[in-house]
Amino acid sequence: MTETPLPIVLVVAVALIDVDGRVLIAKRPEGKKLAGLWEFPGGKVEPGERPEAALIRELREELGIEVSESCLAPFVFASHAYDSFHLLMPLYLCRRWDGVVTAREHAGLAWVRPEKLSDYPMPPADEPLVAWLRDLL
């Protein structure tokens, strides 16, 4: 019997980096999957939407900030098979934005030094990104 492949879901995520080199992570709220875990902010890319446009939209909705596409630097891809879908998630780096970062949809925000990120429980897709960020920053 052949197994049905899991559908692929494309999510874009960002490591916002402040002037002190700290990285923003956001706590998933109650009532959502993986509630209480700390994630790199972002969200699903809608059909027909460019990934960078999706990230700009999500950062506006979730954090109330404006990011220009030219500030979004290259990324690595996270990939994880959840029970019902396979997540593919590029992580962008961003050091400049307009506005004050505000938790509009999350249960909390934390600015964390890269070496301390592993103290925060994260979704399995996000975890491998921590070592990559530690090496990069």
Q: Report the interface residues with ligand CDP, using CB under 6 A.
A: 11, 13, 32-34, 39-40, 42-44, 82, 87, 123, 125-126
Minimum separation from the CB atom of position 105 to ligand CDP (A): 8
Minimum separation from the CB atom of position 60 to ligand CDP (A): 14
Minimum CB distance to ligand CDP smaller for 97 or for 122: 122
Minimum CB distance to ligand CDP smaller for 32 or for 70: 32
| Rounded distance between C-alpha atoms, residue 113 and residue 134, angstroms | 9
Minimum separation from the CB atom of position 17 to ligand CDP (A): 16
Q: 21 is written with which tokens?
A: 């080199």
List of residues 6+ apart from 4 with CB closer than 8 A:
none
Minimum CB distance to ligand CDP smaller for 14 or for 97: 14
H helices present in the chain, as ranges: 51-63, 127-136
Q: 118 is written with which tokens?
A: 């592993």
State the first-to-last Cα distance of the chain, in angstroms, to the nearest integer.
46
Minimum CB distance to ligand CDP smaller for 109 or for 125: 125
Minimum separation from the CB atom of position 1 to ligand CDP (A): 27
Contact 14, 59 (CB under 8 A): yes
List of residues 6+ apart from 48 with CB closer than 8 A:
none
